[in-house]
Amino acid sequence: MYYIGLMSGTSMDAIDAALVEFDSKAKLKLYREYPIDNSLRHQVRLINEKSDLGSIADLDHELGYLFANAVNNLLREANISSDAVVAIGSHGQTILHRPDGTHKTSIQISDPNIICAKTGITTVADFRRMDMAFGGQGAPLASAFHQYQFQQNDKSLVTLNIGGIANITLLPNDGSKVIGFDTGPGNGLLDDWIQLNKNEEYDKDSIWAQSGAVNNELLEQLLSDKYFSMPAPKSTGREYFNLEWLNNFLSKHTTDIKPVDIQATLLHLSIISICDAIKEVAPEYNEVLLCGGGAYNPVFITLIQSLLADMKVTTTTEYGLTPDCIEAVTFAWLAKQRMENKSANLPDVTGATRAVLLGGIYSSK
């Protein structure tokens, strides 16, 4: 029997869909990325706390159909019946992640009722808020799956996921507690800046950033942000690390900085903040496993290896799953945990007071 995982990350470029079997480890049957058109992506990016509820409801509905279509297309291509799928784990599209303060919440849209109705498959969604209800950050959730899939007895590993936001998970080989947290920006600020200045979706292989010069004064100011020195557990999102955040720093400069130099500086911000976090919490670890879109950026890999010279830097492909599929497979696993009534959060990672079941079950049967 199969599970399907669906994920739309902070870049919102596509719906990641994974068809997965589980034995002692997750085994990928098929992985596909189904593009989200520019108009819809733009509408979702415009959502903020002042958006009207009707518009948000419309997008929730539209994304529900889009996610359902992704499932049906995946099954058609795999030649698998929906009856062979136990459940879908749908993360949805995050429109608000507020892990701190009096009213913690995390809101994703892509109506799971529609996904269930249009696929005929039980759907598990809303994975973050139960952890939050028990005092956690609701993130990162991938750490528990990384422990399940990648932990080794003979060496200690760090998994590093570079999406819009970057996060790490420490997997010790001695059975001690797993640690995981968001380190800060990954691709997100780089994507936002090139979209603003060059109307390109992303900086492929960091070619534009490579053509610029790092502004060390700006880099130092960006790295002084309070988030980077906060202790774990912590999580963040593009609600925090966005162009408004960047402009607050740029406005303090009396001289203009060329856009290409800002891109170069943002590249080093991402890599340095990641590597500083790893060196602080995992100085004796043996290996870093890269996953997420950043794992395909050769400049990222080169810079990370140069800053973590004593560690082997590789990708999750070496351990059986390609970097691009990891997040979707994670939500297939989270659906499995929920359907089997097993907890899926790690309190030491999220800050929750205890392990809990994650996700609501939507079924028409």
- Tens place of pLDDT per residue across the chain (365 aa): 999 999 998 778 899 999 999 999 999 999 999 999 989 988 998 887 788 999 999 999 999 999 999 999 999 999 999 999 999 999 999 999 999 888 999 999 999 999 999 999 999 999 999 999 999 999 999 999 999 999 999 999 999 999 999 999 999 999 899 999 999 999 999 999 999 999 998 999 999 999 999 999 999 999 999 999 999 999 999 889 999 999 999 998 878 999 999 999 999 999 999 999 999 999 999 999 999 999 999 999 999 999 999 999 999 999 999 999 999 999 999 999 999 999 999 999 999 999 999 999 999 98
What does each C-alpha distance from 203 to 88, 162, 192, 206, 208 come to in angstroms? Answer: 32, 14, 10, 5, 6
Does the pTM exceed 0.85? Answer: yes
Angle between helices 216-223 and 259-281 (to 10 degrees): 40
Strand pairing of 14-22 and 2-8? antiparallel
185: nearest Cα among 229, 128, 247, 228? 228
Q: What are the chain's domains?
A: 2-137+325-362 (3.30.420.40), 142-319 (3.30.420.40)
Helix residue ranges per DSSP H, 202-317: 207-210, 216-223, 226-229, 243-250, 259-281, 298-307
